[in-house]
Structure 1
């Protein structure tokens, strides 16, 4: 009898452990959800933290947390269960769903929540560098030390696509004596201020604090993208032409032609409809507060947030848009 009791108890303990392990995964747990955002120093990181706090305040019995991430790495994190909600771009989400560059296979289960705002890819160089254009770099094989943000970010992905259109790549830059510095936006700014890089770039909403500081600390020129390359980038990758208006930054006397990918919040389809419904509702009702966290939310419009997301909407988000009458 003692042996029977012992084995029955052991089986129950092992079953409990198995159940605990199953619920420890991000999407497998009904108690803990993770939002993967962007690199520290960028606009996404504080927004993700604020959204996690709002959800914790408004959803009982669940814990939300935010972690750093990147525009191209976040879809994989959500698809594989390392996170539940993520920040990315419409073009990147299409690539993830189709399994095209930068992904080598389809990422299943991704659903859109909201398009938040359009951005603009910034590239600056010191006036003293003598660099006038991307063509100039390619034709003269100029030595550049570049801080394009970390690998796995949308910022860095755009960098690869733009320079490919101009006929060079990272290996060429190194062969010309240059270096790619894959660091965060904030660390890139430090390298810029100290004179260790002569190209500094990021995909962000203008005016962005790092570029305000960068252009105030060093006399700078912005690099524009040619019309021919803009057209090719749109045809190949869905990148959209954008403009950084003259006067946005110190010493910027002309409009800058560049590209954008709309920033989109998405989630795994396994996250409950109720959770994503309330998440979308908070985006709408707390827009004013979120604007105090970061000014990018000045451009958030709930009436168009369901459009141009790249992928299908999560049922919870769609339910909210239909309920408030902005989506037919």
Structure 2
């Protein structure tokens, strides 16, 4: 798909979404709540809508954006048909914790009726260091300064657990972990007073791209063999996964300005596309199949979406698969 056609489709979807008053009585006329107009899931959803339209499917999609928390609430109230939510955050909703701790019991009860169509890995936690800092492996952060995100944020909690899984204790002083957002951290790295930083986002990451024009950088990967240890050390850890990014993709994203000696791993959690359990099995099967049988069209939209693969579609879900979606993945041999 050309970028211009994606923009046109996104604009049309946004216009439709802004005038949409209620979900159609026809279950196949679906309203999809994406995170934001600039998110990867929004671009995927628009492309998915186009795929259905071109295939002559009886199902259709309108894409709106209300974020993840509000989107799940709208799904629970029957105001949208499909929502996008992080796997650990859906677990918070079911447990009435985190950003959902003040929700009424009626909503929490409806959250438990949610089922997953599939999941994707998009934005992710990344670690980048100055090339002259001598940090090539995650354990090399020992004795180094590392910005771990804003105070009280999830990034610092995850990074501390990730370092611990690699034998490094921030509280014990093994690493100089500083609560600092990646913007100021990259500025400190440029003047030599910081060795590395955590960043969250897609590929390429604008802040990393800009910083790479003023200093030599490299990505640093967590060790995949440490993930079991990491998952045991953090709340909802079983929903965290690694996203593999080929070295050639890193080189393409940054025109060779950011080093990656081999394939790089970012940490993330699945962003689940979820529906209410009463969505028709046939509709769930049809729309799931339409997307994954045409995933190459999604992959062409952007560098970030080029990394989406069916291999991760059923990984680390915190909601049960919808029977219609499960039927498709069984046909593909992804689940039993």
* TM-score normalised by structure 1 residue count: 0.60
Q: Does 1:316 align with 2:324?
A: yes
Q: Corresponding residue for 2:84?
A: 87
Q: Corresponding residue for 1:271?
A: 279
Query: Deviations for 1:123-167, whole angstroms, at most 9, x for unmatched residues?
Result: 446679x89799999x9999x79689xx9xxxx744554358876
Match of 1:202 among 200, 203, 217: 200
Q: Distance in 2 between matches of 1:229 and 1:81?
A: 41
Alpha-carbon distance, 1:231 to partner: 5.7
Q: Corresponding residue for 1:121?
A: 125
Contact conserved, 2:150 with 2:156, CA < 8 A, in 1?
Answer: no
Q: Corresponding residue for 2:31?
A: 34
Q: Corresponding residue for 2:113?
A: 109
Please state whether the residue corresponding to 1:87 is helix, strand or coil.
strand
Contact conserved, 1:56 with 1:64, CA < 8 A, in 2?
Answer: no
Match of 2:48 among 47, 51, 54: 51
Q: Corresponding residue for 2:258?
A: 251
Q: Distance in 2 between matches of 1:241 and 1:109?
A: 28
Alpha-carbon distance, 1:90 to partner: 3.5
Q: Does 1:69 align with 2:67?
A: yes
Alpha-carbon distance, 1:113 to partner: 0.8
Greater Rg by CA: 1
Where does structure 1 lack aligned partners over 5 or more consecutive residues? 1-22, 169-175, 182-187
The verdict on how the C-alpha distance between 1:45 and 1:124 changes in structure 2, with shifts beyond 3 A counting, is farther
Q: Corresponding residue for 1:6?
A: none
The verdict on how the C-alpha distance between 1:298 and 1:125 changes in structure 2, with shifts beyond 3 A counting, is closer
Contact conserved, 1:120 with 1:244, CA < 8 A, in 2?
Answer: no
Where does structure 2 lack aligned partners over 5 or more consecutive residues? 1-19, 172-177, 191-195, 252-256
Match of 2:213 among 212, 217, 220: 217
CA RMSD of aligned residues (A): 4.9
How many pairs were matched up? Answer: 277
